[in-house]
Amino acid sequence: MKLNRSAIVNLLFISLFLSLHCFSLGQDFDFFYFVQQWPGSYCDTKNSCCYPTSGKPASDFGIHGLWPNYNDGSYPSNCDPDSAFDKSQISDLISSMEKNWPTLSCPSNDGTKFWTHEWIKHGTCSESELDQHEYFEAALKLKDKINLLKILNNAGIEADDGFYELDEIRKAIEEESGVSVGIECNVDSYGNSQLYQIYMCVDTSGSQFIQCPLLPRHRCGSSIQFPKF
């Protein structure tokens, strides 16, 4: 078949349009990191912390975020400038978010700033899979699925300012969950390495824990503190 010049120009325009369109929608990612933080370790660094306006959070891990990631370790961020955080879309989730996703940053606030940041930076990059309500609900359901504190306590690892072997912490969570986990430490005001965040990998639907294609590289001491909160 012979194409005349205008047909070729049309085809070129169509493919240009399609590629631009797909590119702008193509917020593909390979998996999520589901990241939980230990409040005691956020609060006892040099920077300290502020309790949210709803009061001191429970002595439990809190959600930090659900972050789309690529298998090579890179990740997309701030994917949709047109998608604002809209509290009215998740009004039914707010009381659970206050409990399970509390903010500890200063000055004291109701959490909207933290949730907005997480939506804008990370949530907008998984919009092809999860809308705003689904995104926050997915994170809350994941936290419900895995009770990190209970798992650690059952293994004799308590938030008592004691020091525990990093491998012992890892082993307890991996044995119970069946998947690999990443552990991030930070440093308290005395310079002790302590348990700060736990990373788990989740499929792109945001519902199943999976073996991590790649664990984030964080440095911890071989023995780390688990601070009281």
Q: Is 1 in a helix, a strand, or coil? A: coil
Q: What element of type H or E holds 5?
A: helix 5-25
Residue with tokens 């090579």: 72
Task: Determine which one of 98, 122, 176, 184 is catalytic.
Answer: 122
Q: Is 184 in a helix, a strand, or coil? A: strand
**Residue 137 known to be catalytic:** no
Considering the rule CB under 6 A, would residue 27 count as an interface residue with ligand 5GP?
Answer: no
Q: How far is the CB of 130 from ligand 5GP (least distance, A)?
A: 15
Instruction: Sketch the per residue contact string, 196 through 215, with ligand 5GP: x for CB under 6 A, - otherwise.
Output: --------------------
**Residue 174 known to be catalytic:** no
Instruction: Sketch the per residue contact string, 92 through 111, with ligand 5GP: x for CB under 6 A, - otherwise.
Output: -----------xxx------
Q: How far is the CB of 22 from ligand 5GP (least distance, A)?
A: 22
Q: What element of type H or E holds 175?
A: helix 166-177
Q: How far apart are CA 220 and CA 192, in angstroms?
A: 10
Q: How far is the CB of 16 from ligand 5GP (least distance, A)?
A: 30
Among 31, 34, 36, 37, binds ligand 5GP (CB under 6 A): 37
Considering the rule CB under 6 A, would residue 216 count as an interface residue with ligand 5GP?
Answer: yes
Q: Is 113 in a helix, a strand, or coil? A: helix
Cα angle for residues 44, 138, 100 (degrees, 5° grid): 30
Q: What is the b/e burial string over 64-73, where b = at least 16 CB atoms within 10 angstroms of the residue's CB?
A: bbbbbbeeee
Task: Determine which one of 118, 127, 129, 137 is catalytic.
Answer: 118
Q: How far is the CB of 159 from ligand 5GP (least distance, A)?
A: 17
Closest to 227 in 3D by CA, of 41, 35, 61: 41
With beta carbons less than 8 A apart as the criterion, state whether 225 and 193 touch: yes
With beta carbons less than 8 A apart as the criterion, state whether 138 and 130 touch: yes
Q: How far is the CB of 210 from ligand 5GP (least distance, A)?
A: 15
Instruction: Sketch the per residue contact string, 44 through 83, with ligand 5GP: x for CB under 6 A, - otherwise.
Output: --------------------xx-x-x-----x--------
Instruction: Sketch the per residue contact string, 122 through 161, with ligand 5GP: x for CB under 6 A, - otherwise.
Output: ----------------------------------------
**Residue 117 known to be catalytic:** no
Closest to 34 in 3D by CA, of 141, 151, 194: 141
Nearer to ligand 5GP, 8 or 50 (CB): 50
Q: How far apart are CA 212 and CA 4, in angstroms?
A: 52
Residues near ligand 5GP (CB under 6 A): 33, 37, 42, 64-65, 67, 69, 75, 103-105, 114, 117, 121, 216
